[in-house]
Amino acid sequence: MASSVRIIPATIRQNSANGTHLNTKRRTAAYARVSTDSEEQLTSYEAQVDYYTKYIKDRADWEFVRVYTDEGISATNTKKRDGFKQMIADALDGKIDLIITKSVSRFARNTVDSLVTVRQLKEKGVEIYFEKENIYTLDSKGELLITIMSSLAQEESRSISENVTWGQRKRMADGKVSLPYGQFLGYEKGEDGLPRIVESEAEIVRMIFRLFMEGKTPSAIAKQLASQGIPSPAGKKRWQVATVKSMLGNEKYKGDALLQKGFTVDFLTKKRKNNEGEVPQYYVQNSHPAIIEPDEFDALQAEIERRKGLGRPCGCGSPFSAKIVCGDCGGFYGSKVWGSNSKYRRVIWRCNEKYKNDKHCQTPHVTEDDIKQRFLVAFNTLMGGREELLANCRFAQETLCDCSAIEAELAEVRREIEIVTELTKKAISENARVAVSQEEFNGRHTGYMERYRKASERLAELDEQRREHQNKFLMLETFIKGIESCPMVLDEFDDKLWAVAVAKLTITIKGKLVYRFKDGAEIEG
């Protein structure tokens, strides 16, 4: 018998917006987004919502679901777009047949995100219609077009990102300072666009700096601020220790600004990292009013370095913490309370190691009044030769703190690293292009790696030496300014002067108090 063919008509629509749904209306949603919160863009956003609501409801073959929206959000990735993510979730759950959006750039500027989403929806039979480009994703040519258009949109985003970055760096090079005022304690944006001091917040900043110089740790300062009900820069009840540390080291509080401390690594992910020399930095002096006097700020940085050098946490709310040393065992003195529950209560300082070993330290305890009164005697003795003292300190800065030789060697070591890196690349390239003895190549490569290792180690050593010289210079500078600003005869104890002038106090077995000042002088009080 001759074969015959019978055609069975289609009863279910083709997966295309161009086709006609034979049995039911297509459940249709729209997506609207603007990437900034400006008034002009928000007007555009509202117009999109009104337009798509009416556009879908006017179609007899479409059933309106809703308009999904995102305001003030970039399209470079889909991680933070709640409206977008809800729409995709509903579509994958079978609640949507067709999604309408203005253009590829409104949907996503990231090619990968765009294509992944389109393919996810395609597997579920959900179509996207890009009105501006007239693209239906379930058409045969839809995926090719979406790939091309998404790539163009991504390049547009890259171009915008590069232009914004260039503009920001131009502002930095011109010395224009901008602060994250919403989370920066002490300043607000002035009418001239520059930082302006908020006095009520500035008092908190000054208190933080004062507490640190009085001996408290950042952790203790954070607890005290929280206990006093002072909100953090972010408006929270609890202060993070990292926040206090950041404030103590932020040069903006002394009226200067180091710009571009961090930078964006990838314009798509928006990932940022600390600037470790990858891009230029700009240091602007006297860029705005100071909350903390520069001398006081520099003195605090020297105190931070001193505490780091101790190799252990220190600080119990006193300027004497980790500065009083036992002349017998070399340990630190700590504060002890005698008669805490009686009218004879008093605070004394005693070696922390006194009763920890079989052989007890022979150094005596001292009172705070003893330390303060005998400091005045030692300091006034020091001030008897103030002019010679200042001249010696300046000479020490010029000689002991000079970094010119270190900088010269650093430049040589960096050149060595660059040369070795280029030689290594050249050897690898040559090995890939032409036939060479692998034994010879391995020998050369090992030699280059050894040169690189030695140069890198020397670079780290020189960097450490430079930091030590710079810290010594800073310590002497704060000492000099402290000496210059105080009277010839000191009548009462000054916490700030103590912090700036005294390197350590040694208590001898015979009860003598030997004050070592930061210029190296030792005077018995």
User: What sign for the dihedral angle of Cα 266, 271, 276, 280?
Assistant: positive
pLDDT for 17: 45
Q: Which pLDDT belongs to residue 306? A: 73
User: So what's the pLDDT on residue 513?
Assistant: 93
Question: What's the pLDDT at 412?
Answer: 93
Instruction: Report CA dihedral (186, 191, 193, 197) to the nearest 10 degrees.
Output: -20
pLDDT for position 506: 93
Beta strand pairing status for 26-33 and 98-101? parallel
What's residue 363's pLDDT? 92
Which H or E run includes 187? strand 187-189
pLDDT value of residue 500: 79
pLDDT of residue 91: 93
Helices (H), 400-492: 404-433, 438-485
- Please list the rounded mean pLDDT of every run of 10 residues in the chain (525 residues): 69 47 77 63 70 90 90 55 89 93 73 74 88 80 65 63 59 63 84 85 91 82 91 89 90 81 58 64 78 82 75 62 87 83 80 82 90 91 88 86 88 91 85 78 87 90 85 81 84 83 90 89 86
CA proximity to 99, closest of 89, 109, 110: 89
DSSP element (H, E) containing 262: strand 262-264
- Residue 64 has a pLDDT of 93
Tokens of 404: 């010119």
Task: Note the pLDDT of residue 20.
Answer: 44
The predicted structure's pLDDT at residue 67 = 92
